[in-house]
Chains A and B, each alone.
Chain A
């Protein structure tokens, strides 16, 4: 009798990469649901489009690279990328936007770098930034929350809107974007920046209906939902606590300081934390293991860097939210961070860089 020789260890913990990715997707669901309820069903349409595109693209590239497609699809990493991109873009953006974005994320950002694990940048965020630069108009078409929309859109309207840019009843997106009072509304963060640039004080800006609630109508709830999903991921040990805590902590700290220094031109720390894509970034995007730092100390540095960059870009940048840029910049710094935060090996003295 003879046996097949296999290498030790012969037992393994049961959670696989596929499950980890899937759990992250599942943890997004509360956020997606809230988003769909408060900002319309467009996000669901975007999700379907993104996932279909991502799977097709991944399978195609695997074919071209002569690798087994199924095992790669099974790792669910393409699914996660698609989901993150779909929830990041405006819900009624035209269909080709998400298709182009997803293709870019999968084919260029991920596969051209060598596939899962080799990509320097977070695919979803790189695609987001690409779209933002290439299609600034479509990428800023955020509708106000449902309560402020003049017309309420049902699921069919959402499909129509995404594919034709007109709801079934014939309203154009820009019409929909205009609030009840006839003023075109962007996201709260966008509004603040535009207003501040126009010389208004923050207090004046916050008078507008879009700022109903702490962080802008609807946005608070979306962020809370992502916060809940993220905490669940930490609890399940799918993600570590270091990056989210570092991102949120640093963002809170710097916005608190700036707010205390000049409350009239700086949004409050709470508004910073619960508006825009803050929670999504902290728990779901910055924690992408592939493009984040891999050492424990490095993760703190990486998180703090993202938190600070979010603040700076929101305050001084020209785009509605700083999350995507902040994450990409941090991605670029990762090799450096990793190199200088290597843990001390057992029995070795010197730390950090050299030997």
Chain B
């Protein structure tokens, strides 16, 4: 089977890998790059478990052919924390019990990051619509929405205190 050589940036590192022709970014990330935090819930773009940031946009990795990421920047859940410091969303998910089984969590965290990067002060409804592409069967979404709103508040607060300093 023919394989394509692909260069891109993943979680800040320049990376190259060989992908099966016709292979999805999801399979490439899991099988070729070894980033198992990217999950497959459906493979058809309906669940959001495979969400990654591609050039800062939330994207279902299962719907992208691996060669499409040539030259692009990808962030997966493995790249969300800043070295030894969790992202505020990760911290709020932990503190707010916003996960039960946790299979949907990587996708939700990245979708929420994409939202907050664009809109640091979303309403509950905005959060609900921004996360509507991610399925969670365990939580009923309540604690996820609260955790995202809490994280947004925390990020805003530290931004203003940072400005003042």
Q: Do A and B bind each other?
A: no
Interface on A for B, CB 8 Å cutoff? none
Interface on B for A, CB 8 Å cutoff? none
